[in-house]
Copies of this chain bind each other. A is one copy, B any other.
Amino acid sequence: MKTRVTELLGIETPIVCGGMMRVGTAELAAAASNAGALGVMTALTQPTLEGLRAEIEKCRSLTDKPFAVNLTVGVVTTEINYDDILDVIIDSGVKIVETAGRSPEPFMERLKANGVKVIHKCVAVRHALKAERIGVDIVSIDGFECAGHPGEQDVGGLVLFPAAAQALKIPVLASGGIADGRGLAAALALGCEGINMGSRFMVTKEAPIHEGIKQKIVEMDENQTRLIFRTYKNTARVYRNSVADKVAEIEAEGGDFGMVHHLVSGANQEKAWSTGDIEAGMVTVGMCGGLINDIPSCEDLVKTIVSDARSIISERLAGMIGTA
């Protein structure tokens, strides 16, 4: 397939593997890239600069194809030295960076000077317009359905994607609520030039998470997520388990973040991810988990999505307009 995104990034299919904390390892990124999508490693998944450098090297050893590094800024903590991380990314010769969280403005000059293409992920058209103004190459726009942080405006992808694609001159990736060839074809119809998928890539053979969690996502339906942290203006979509329900209950009673902190601590999240017990902690997943019914390899996943989108376009849709 060929869109402005595939051309700009030098990839075969307009599919980006979402940048995911703790999931975006070299193995998953390389598998996604080898499948013809854009694999994305997450910088903050590595605890040290040396670890990040080694992980990027590892990814390069596993694939000849383009891959990206995600740099999420300022959401979790301000103790991180992003300039040092950027040094490692640039020195390692990475040519595509996905930014998220705060605006990438402070980094743009260095990124562009080093020939790095920038994909910025954001949740509102006005943030996307700002990203375009400061020289970002591609915007990945996250709708209400997405896993993690959909923002506070709650605009579904069905409306947000065309609104963003229409407002911007640079290409737009549709993110959130997409898990298959139907979603890819729909996103392209809505004016986007490709898709970003997180939850779907979590449920692949190569994703470094416990099989128990993958299986729970296969089993979930579209009603099995919920929003938490709205009262802290840092809304997150997570799997609806007893932990998420407890957080929501504390929020409803006006509890501050300190009161939920132990529930959503890294230690508890780690317990869920490492043991496969989805009730053990907070698990980030989008409502498109309801559309996920198998655990394929990245290669099979990307092949199926592209082949489904192709037949939807050339058979189903063309048939409906009488040109099949």
A1-40 contacts to B (CB < 8 Å): 1-3, 14
Collect the chain B residues with CB atoms within 8 Å of residue A314's CB.
Answer: 318, 321, 323
Interface residues on A, range: 35 or more
Collect the chain B residues with CB atoms within 8 Å of residue A183's CB.
Answer: 158, 162, 190
Contact B180 A156 (CB under 8 A): no
Collect the chain B residues with CB atoms within 8 Å of residue A159's CB.
Answer: 145, 177, 222, 287-288, 290-291
Shortest CB–CB separation between residue A83 and chain B, in angstroms?
34
Complex Cα distance, B158 from A153, in Å, reads 17
The chain B residue sitting closest to A174, CB to CB, is B158
Complex Cα distance, B157 from A316, in Å, reads 20
A164-198 contacts to B (CB < 8 Å): 176-178, 180, 182-183, 185-191
Known: A156-B158, A160-B222. 10 other contacts (CB 8 A): A2-B320, A155-B222, A155-B223, A155-B290, A158-B177, A163-B290, A182-B189, A186-B189, A189-B317, A313-B320
Complex Cα distance, B139 from A272, in Å, reads 38
Q: Does A312 contact B (CB under 8 A)?
A: yes
Contact A322 B2 (CB under 8 A): yes
Shortest CB–CB separation between residue A312 and chain B, in angstroms?
5
Contact A313 B321 (CB under 8 A): yes
| Sample of 17 A–B contacts (CB below 8 Å) | A1-B320, A2-B322, A124-B223, A145-B155, A155-B222, A156-B158, A158-B178, A158-B186, A160-B222, A162-B291, A183-B190, A185-B186, A188-B317, A188-B320, A189-B189, A313-B323, A314-B321
Q: Does A125 contact B (CB under 8 A)?
A: yes
Complex Cα distance, B323 from A317, in Å, reads 13
Collect the chain B residues with CB atoms within 8 Å of residue A187's CB.
Answer: 186
Collect the chain B residues with CB atoms within 8 Å of residue A154's CB.
Answer: 144
Shortest CB–CB separation between residue A239 and chain B, in angstroms?
15
A: which residues have CB within 8 A of B?
1-3, 14, 124-125, 143-145, 153-160, 162-163, 176-178, 180, 182-183, 185-191, 221-223, 287-288, 290-291, 309-310, 312-314, 316-323
Q: Are A180 and B162 CB-contacts (below 8 A) given A189-B186, A312-B189, A317-B313? A: yes
Collect the chain B residues with CB atoms within 8 Å of residue A221's CB.
Answer: 125, 163
Complex Cα distance, B174 from A190, in Å, reads 15
Complex Cα distance, B309 from A3, in Å, reads 18
Cβ contact of A143, chosen from B1, B14, B156, B182, cutoff 8 A: B156
The chain B residue sitting closest to A144, CB to CB, is B156
Shortest CB–CB separation between residue A202 and chain B, in angstroms?
16
Q: Are A222 and B189 CB-contacts (below 8 A) given A145-B158, A157-B156, A321-B310? A: no
